[in-house]
Amino acid sequence: MKVNKFFLFALIAIATSLMFISCDDTADGYGDNYVVNAVVTIKPINNGEGFNIWVSDKVQGQATNLVKSPYGNKEVRALANIRDEGKAANGMQKIYVNWLDSIRTKQTVSSVGEKEDIKKYGDDPLEIVKDFTTVVEDGYLTLRFQTVWGNLNAKHELNLITGVSKDDPYKLVLRHNAKGDVTGRRGDGIIAFRLREIDKIAKEKGKKEVPLQLYWKSFNGEKHITFTYHTRDDKS
């Protein structure tokens, strides 16, 4: 998994946002079109010949200025700048897309025991950034993270591990393998994980809302956070 792309994007997005915020733009100004204002799910229809945009439980619709999915028949999470254009005749939202940038979207992996997990998936530190891009929704855990980057060509790997606790099936561990790239400046990245295994467990237990416990190794030791997750009830 190459996360250096998203590190660079995050830096560019932050720098661009600051640049335009510092200008005298109005709320409808040109500069605002370059700021991330949503984290969305792109859901292909008819093998990508069309697509829906999932913005929230209450807001879903189709793009008014795009027909085919830019990602073919693959469902992905994406950073976006979008504009609400009201309701369509079918009751769905009409959404104008200024731009999309796909987020690396992965499946979770199953634990093979803590020692083996560390050996296989790494034990390097990172921090979770608490902002609107760190969110659990629509079947995904999307995380903005921060770690040390010294080599822009380094291929850091992140994996989200399920099945780490027999007592708590909703406990997850995020593992980071820096591949030896452990000195340099701190920078941001973003990644999404499809929570299909959590959806399956919750459905078997008759749960539509579950507490996700996320653990990770930070630069100051182990940390964790609890998310309330509304499960996704489909086969995607």
- Alpha-carbon span 55 to 133, nearest angstrom: 12
Please give the angle made by the CA atoms of 142, 80 and 192, to the nearest 5 degrees.
15
Percent of the chain at pLDDT exceeding 70? 86
Contact indicator for 144, 129 with CB cutoff of 8 Å: yes
Residue type, 63: A
pTM assigned to the model: 0.85
CA dihedral 23, 28, 30, 36 (to 10 degrees): 90
Please give the angle made by the CA atoms of 130, 191 and 5, to the nearest 5 degrees.
110
- Alpha-carbon span 96 to 86, nearest angstrom: 10
Lowest mean pLDDT among 11-15, 97-101, 107-111, 159-163: 11-15
3-state class (DSSP) for residue 183: coil
Contact indicator for 191, 104 with CB cutoff of 8 Å: yes
CATH 2.40.50.500 fits 4-102, yes or no: yes
- All residues at 6 or more sequence positions from 43 whose CB lies less than 8 Å from its CB, including other chains: 51, 52, 53, 54, 75, 236
Alpha-carbon distances of 64 from 27, 45, 83, 90, 100, rounded to whole Å = 21, 15, 10, 14, 14
3-state class (DSSP) for residue 70: coil
- pLDDT on residue 235: 65
Picking from 120, 42, 132, the residue whose alpha carbon sits closest to that of residue 78 is 42
Write down the domain spans for the chain. Answer: 4-102, 104-230
Taking only the tens place, the pLDDT of each residue in 123-134 is: 999 999 999 999
pLDDT band of residue 236 (cuts 50, 70, 90) is low
Q: What would the CATH number be for the domain defined by 104-230?
A: 2.60.40.2370
Picking from 156, 148, 143, the residue whose alpha carbon sits closest to that of residue 215 is 143
Q: Check whether 147 has a pLDDT greater than 80.
A: yes
- Residue 51 host element (H or E): strand 50-54
